[in-house]
Amino acid sequence: MRIVLIGQAAFGEKVLEKLVKGKESVVGVLTPPVIKGKPNPLHELAVKLGIPALWHKGKWNREVIEEYQKLAPELNVMAFVTDILPEAILNYPRFGTIQYHPSLLPKHRGGSAINWAIINGETKTGVTIFYPDRGIDTGPILLQKEVPIAPDDTVGTLYFNKLFPIGIEAIMESIELIKQGKAPKIPQDEAQATYEGLCTEKETVINWQQPSVKIYNLIRGSNPQPGATTRFKGKQFKVFDAELVLGTGKGMPGRVLEINPKGILVSTSDGAILVKRVQPEGSAKISAGEFVQQTGLKAGDKLA
């Protein structure tokens, strides 16, 4: 089967490796050469393997579409794609297009599905391989795989340790089902659909008046991006690694209860959060101990 891989970053790279190792005929890759000023590993691997690497440079113009169609693909595989593809590409192959999404659709449509599942305190999520249409993460489902969300999972651990590897497996399994003529197209249940926008700093401001579990879920659901924010003496900083401490609240929410070798213990409405790693504005991530040394933060101080 002639496959065009559309994607980027490490996930796209590993999918390409798996496809090539599995003797699939990858006839082209649609991916940017650079991501946020850094070389894109998927693009680099495609060039190394001698696979045509196309990019639309921000515009799906006729030239790119014609280059793509000359590859005569039978299937598009979307692995970590943030664009909405034109129908001239989406519907061109004989077997259409399949896409990876890191949630159990129709729940958590949108570009921050992993963040919101953790922030909402959910205990399971998964990956969906589906046939995309012109909507955002709509279209019939081909295959799903479920994974647990551990109590201390962050966006980073959930993605790299679970959703990343199982997503590659799901893509390969889906391709095999298509080749065998056994791939289902199960309509998404719109009654169960949820959509959340991108998880940005606006949504990740810590409210120390909330229960410890809710704050902890926000912190781990924002780690490593975009980070949960709070303030000390009017200056914003982000909280990353933290620990949930129940039943030890002794003061006003946001009050620093103590500084210890493990971090900064901050009171909540029903307990406390132990802050272990932070990022001051305009700085790299540092340990809580370093932050204390830099700012003079002490027990009794208030975070807002």
Judge contact between 211 and 269, C-beta under 8 A. yes
The SS3 call for residue 144 is strand
Q: pLDDT tens for residues 133-149?
A: 989 999 999 999 999 99
Give me the phi and psi of 244, to 5 degrees please.
-85, 130
In the chain, what is the straight-line distance between the N-terminal and C-terminal CA atoms, in Å? 57
* Homologous superfamily of the 201-295 domain (CATH): Formyl transferase, C-terminal domain (3.10.25.10)
CA distance 236 to 281: 6
pTM for this predicted structure = 0.95
Q: Please tell me the predicted confidence (pLDDT) of residue 248.
A: 65
Give domain limits for the chain: 2-192, 201-295
CA distance 231 to 47: 46
Give me the phi and psi of 225, to 5 degrees please.
-135, 140
In the chain, DSSP finds a helix count (H) and a strand count (E) of 9, 17
Judge contact between 297 and 256, C-beta under 8 A. yes
Bridge partners (DSSP) listed for residue 243:
274
Q: How far is CA 31 from the centre of its chain?
A: 18
In this prediction, the residues of the chain whose per-residue pLDDT falls under 50 are none
Q: Do domains 2-192 and 201-295 have the same CATH topology?
A: no
Q: Please tell me the predicted confidence (pLDDT) of residue 83.
A: 84
Q: What single letter denotes the amino acid at residue 224?
A: P
Q: Please tell me the predicted confidence (pLDDT) of residue 113.
A: 98
Tell me the residue length of the chain: 304
Give me the phi and psi of 53, to 5 degrees please.
-115, 115
Token match 């401001």: residue? 205
CATH number of 2-192: 3.40.50.170
CA distance 110 to 197: 6
Q: Which of 16, 14, 36 is nearest to 27 (CA)?
A: 16
Q: What are the tokens at 30?
A: 């649609």
Judge contact between 195 and 204, C-beta under 8 A. no
CA distance 13 to 59: 23
Q: Please tell me the predicted confidence (pLDDT) of residue 228.
A: 98
Q: What are the tokens at 10?
A: 């490490």
